[in-house]
């Protein structure tokens, strides 16, 4: 599936603000049905099913974390094997040097600890989160009770479209606000390429 909401950063952008979650989701669906790919959406809480509506891929965090957990297990096994068998073998409680059964707990815990640390950092990375004391949302109500959908165009051009889809107001938004993944934005396919790929899929 094409990551359809990777914005192209060409602007200008206008966002419709919605008071109702259902109207917001319907507007997102309508925008996608019209072939609009240069868009962004905000919500104050996670909206069930919005990923499918916007055509977003499943997050890769789960696979990344699982990989790191397995690597953590292997690392801890190798560490204990090296220390207990090679570096400083000690007979402890009459057990063999490589008493792997006694290594299970550190192995399990180390892998999960690594997974937890990577999980948080992967979330920061994929969401592009960094400590920023000056963050400003396009509208402060977006963290409260308003949903927003931004499309390429000026407020004047899009006012009728947004109003017809249930938006209660339309505001201009900065290109930086729309960029969901600025690090990879230059790598995002151009709008024409996206449509071509979608047509090819169809």
Partner 1 sequence: MSPQGPSAAQITSDLTAPIFRVPSLAWFGAFATAAGLAGLMMACVLMYCIEGYGIFGVDNTVNWGNDIASYIFWIGIAVAGTLVSSVLLLFRQKWRTGVNRATEAMTVFAINIAGIYPLIHTGRPWVDYWLIPHPNDLALYPQFKSPIVWDVFAITGYATTSVLFFYLGLLPDLAAIRDRCPDTRIGRIQRLVYSALAMGWKGTASQWRHYERAYTQFAWVATPLVIGMHSTIATLLAVSVVPGWHATVFPPYFVSGAIFGGLAMALLLLIPLRTAFKLEAYITIDHLERLAKIMLAVGMIVLHVYLVEFFFAWYSESPSERGQYWYRLFGEHNLFFWVMILCNVVILQLLWFKSLRRNLAVLTLVGVAVNVGMWLERYNIIVLSLERDHLPSKWTAYAFTGWDYMLLAGSFGLFFTQFLLFCRLIPMVSIAEIKATLLNRHRQGANHG
Taking the least distance from each CB to partner 1, the nearer of 121 and 197 is 121
The CA distance from 185 to 58, in Å, is: 18
Cβ 123 to partner 1 shortest distance, Å: 4
Identify the CA nearest to 139 among candidates 25, 47, 16.
16
- Distant-in-sequence, close-in-space partners of 38: CB < 8 Å, separation ≥ 6: 7, 8, 10, 151, 152, 191
Taking the least distance from each CB to partner 1, the nearer of 170 and 180 is 180
The CA distance from 93 to 83, in Å, is: 17
Cβ 99 to partner 1 shortest distance, Å: 6
Cβ 26 to partner 1 shortest distance, Å: 14
The CA distance from 200 to 202, in Å, is: 5
* Residue 169, strand partner residues: 17
Taking the least distance from each CB to partner 1, the nearer of 26 and 137 is 137
Cβ 11 to partner 1 shortest distance, Å: 16
Taking the least distance from each CB to partner 1, the nearer of 158 and 188 is 188
* Residue 61, strand partner residues: none
Taking the least distance from each CB to partner 1, the nearer of 30 and 79 is 79
Interface residues toward partner 1, by CB under 8 A: 5, 21-22, 40-48, 50-51, 54, 56, 58-59, 61-62, 65, 69, 79-80, 83-84, 87-88, 90, 92-93, 95, 99, 102-103, 105-106, 108-110, 112-113, 115-117, 119-120, 122-124, 126-135, 137, 140-145, 177, 180-181
Cβ 6 to partner 1 shortest distance, Å: 9
DSSP states along 124-163: HHHTT----TT---SSGGGGTT-EEEEEES-HHHHHHHHH
């Amino acid at each position: 599936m094409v990551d359809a909401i990777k914005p192209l950063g060409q602007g200008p952008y206008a966002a419709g603000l919605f008071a109702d979650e259902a109207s917001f989701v319907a507007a997102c669906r309508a925008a996608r049905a019209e072939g609009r790919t240069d868009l962004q959406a905000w919500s104050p809480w996670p909206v069930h099913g919005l990923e499918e509506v916007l055509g977003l891929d499943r997050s890769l965090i789960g696979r990344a974390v699982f990989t790191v957990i397995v690597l953590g297990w292997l690392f801890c096994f190798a560490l204990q094997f090296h220390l207990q068998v090679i570096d400083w073998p000690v007979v402890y409680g009459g057990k063999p040097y490589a008493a792997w059964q006694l290594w299970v707990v550190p192995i399990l815990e180390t892998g999960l600890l690594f997974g937890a640390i990577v999980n948080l950092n992967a979330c920061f990375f994929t969401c592009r989160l960094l400590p920023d004391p000056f963050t400003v949302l396009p509208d402060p109500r977006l963290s409260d009770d308003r949903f927003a959908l931004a499309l390429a165009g000026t407020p004047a051009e899009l006012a009728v479209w947004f109003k017809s889809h249930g938006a209660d107001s339309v505001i201009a938004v900065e290109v930086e606000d729309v960029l969901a993944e600025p690090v990879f934005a230059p790598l995002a396919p151009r709008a024409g390429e996206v449509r071509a790929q979608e047509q090819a899929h169809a």
